[in-house]
Structure 1
Amino acid sequence: MPNAGVPMTQVVMAYLDHLSVERGTARNTLESYARDLRRYADHLARAEVTDFRRVTEAEVAAFGAALREGDDEHPPLAVSSAARALVAVRGLHRFAHLEGITDEDPAREVRPPTAGRRLPKALPVDDVLRLLNMPAAAGKGGERALRDRALLELLYSTGARISEAVGLDLDDVDSGERTVLLDGKGGKQRLVPIGKPALAALDAYLVRARPALVGRGRGSAALFLNARGSRLSRQSAWQVLKTNAERAGISASVSPHTLRHSFATHLLEGGADVRVVQELLGHASVTTTQVYTLVTVNTLREIYAHAHPRALG
């Protein structure tokens, strides 16, 4: 090893390249890791650690504490965000050790904080139906209403993430087979079924709205287009969901994943096997999907408490 030391930035760049090229890590995850590792670099700089090989377990643990408590430069993070940042740091040090950059892995014994299991928020079926009908009910009609209705129907019918929906091209939807090809996290594709109401909404949009929209742009192959004929952005699609939820009078907190959570919960309540839902959602592990079973159990418990004459006895 040369005596000049190994700069933090050099190792971080190599690690992010490794995640992108060899692991196929999603862009959003890479951006989050880059932010977390910049914060880690600031922490080490304030501790006057300039050689990455000289990082000790104590410094990694101190960074973990600073994530939760905050410091002079950064506010404290929520448990989930602090855990993600420490995961990024642990991955960085593991990579550096395996690549022979460092002799030891100082982060190996430093554990991320564990957050309490948060239950996904799903809307009742009636609220979902009101939300799906809202673009047409708003009375404005036109290209945007047809597009928004098709987008919302597709999100609920397939359980797609918003980023997956806006990433669709025209040939990703097979109306004959009633399937949609989604590009998930890490570049993993999955084929999911789509229901007849969603297909009908898509057909109305494709026939009566998209031709006018695409004419304003440069012939984009994207399924969902904005007013300029370009691919609809993730932020704009999220705004479509938020705006129509407000118009529908939905008081529950609505997130970009609201229809995805509702899709999973309603499937399980309808008797779907958790592993089938896992495949539909594109979860790598069934453990991630099983959190939705807690939602359905809680619903059953509430119904039991109100309906059974001896439930509260």
Structure 2
Amino acid sequence: MSYLRIEQGSSPRTAEAYRRDLEEYLAFLDKRGVDAPGDVKRDDVVDFEHHLAEAGLATTTVRRRISAVRGYHRFLVREGLTSENPAEAVDIPKAADRLPDVLSIEEVGRMLDTYIDERPSGLRDRALLEVLYGCGLRASEICGLNLDNLYLDDGFLRVFGKGAKERIVPIAGAADRALRRYLNEGRPALARAAGATGDSASAVFLNQRGGRLGRQSIFNLVRKAGAAINRYDLHPHTLRHSFATHMLKGGADLRVLQEILGHADMSTLQVYTHLDRTHLHEEYAHAHPRDKM
């Protein structure tokens, strides 16, 4: 766990998920009479994977748990505690091709343009929604945003993503305007009312008590905003998916989008290229010379 948190830079939530997965794996091995790392065989790992599948777990959950097992055995080899990785040759089940849920451009417009609340908390909520969608941020990234991460005159934010990896994200237009207004009119009122100090004093988004706004508050806000346009159970990540889809639809380059979103692997973005078949057909009909004849 220390290796995950300190050397790998994993978030506390990720490390905790790995801990739960590995505790289940070790309990499975214990029932088979395997009580030493060097005694684990490939068949043990394969049987654990079958055990998870037979329990009716989703493919994504099985994938994550087997990934945790593989990482655990890599760590044991790295530390010299074992000489071989019995999980190295175990295949991780292929994830099903599932397209992420997205809002249409019209739905985003209705959700944001009808969100009018002149109270300090209302200015904060409008700015938060605009930045989530306008910059494609994760909920955890907007929670961790500090005042010294804002370079609005230069048109960008400094964001710390998964594994504390830093990246530069452009901000402009409606997101920039809403954030500036919140910083000028909304945040000072929230900070004064509660006397924000310490970590809260550096946070961009404050709650009613002057503390740093938490993930659950952001989830609740997004869910409430979605309900206003009849999109129930809307998730902050849906706004991130919508941002990526609309950027590609508007002609953004995949590699530029990769940098903005902070994806290490280009293949992660391929799903967005399949989201809007109608748009592809429209572009084809508009551009292809034989289609006009």
If the length of structure 1 is used for normalisation, what is the TM-score?
0.85
Letter in 1 for 2:125: D
In the other structure, the counterpart of 1:18 is 3
Residue of 121, 133, 157 corresponding to 2:101: 121
User: How far is the alpha carbon of 1:304 from its aligned partner?
Assistant: 8.5
Letter in 2 for 1:212: A
Percent identical pairs in the alignment equals 43
In the other structure, the counterpart of 1:232 is 213
Tell me the alpha carbon deviations over residues 136-161 of structure 1, each in whole angstroms, 9 at most, x when there is no partner.
1xxx5412211110000001111111
User: How far is the alpha carbon of 1:303 from its aligned partner?
Assistant: 5.4
2:265 is the alignment partner of 1:280: no
Structure 1 segment 160-171 matched on structure 2, within 5 A: 160-171=137-148
User: How far is the alpha carbon of 1:24 from its aligned partner?
Assistant: 1.7
In the other structure, the counterpart of 1:245 is 226
Letter in 2 for 1:299: T
Structure 1 segment 161-310 matched on structure 2, within 5 A: 161-215=138-192, 216-219=194-197, 220=200, 221-250=202-231, 254-296=234-276, 298-300=277-279
Segments of 5+ residues of structure 2 without an aligned counterpart are none
CA distance in structure 2 between the aligned counterparts of 1:84 and 1:60, rounded to whole angstroms? 14
Residue of 57, 67, 82 corresponding to 1:102: 82
Tell me the alpha carbon deviations over residues 116-135 of structure 1, each in whole angstroms, 9 at most, x when there is no partner.
12212221101001111343
Segments of 5+ residues of structure 1 without an aligned counterpart are 1-15, 71-75
In the other structure, the counterpart of 1:144 is 121
In the other structure, the counterpart of 1:40 is 25
User: How far is the alpha carbon of 1:92 from its aligned partner?
Assistant: 0.8
CA distance in structure 2 between the aligned counterparts of 1:183 and 1:271, rounded to whole angstroms? 26
CA distance in structure 2 between the aligned counterparts of 1:119 and 1:230, rounded to whole angstroms? 36
If the length of structure 2 is used for normalisation, what is the TM-score?
0.90
Q: Larger % of helix: which?
A: 2
CA distance in structure 2 between the aligned counterparts of 1:134 and 1:59, rounded to whole angstroms? 56
User: How far is the alpha carbon of 1:301 from its aligned partner?
Assistant: 5.4
CA distance in structure 1 between the aligned counterparts of 2:274 and 2:59, rounded to whole angstroms? 21
What SS is found at the alignment partner of 1:214?
Answer: helix
Cα RMSD after superposing both structures: 2.1
The 8 Å contact of residues 217 and 230 in structure 1, kept in 2 or not, is answered as no
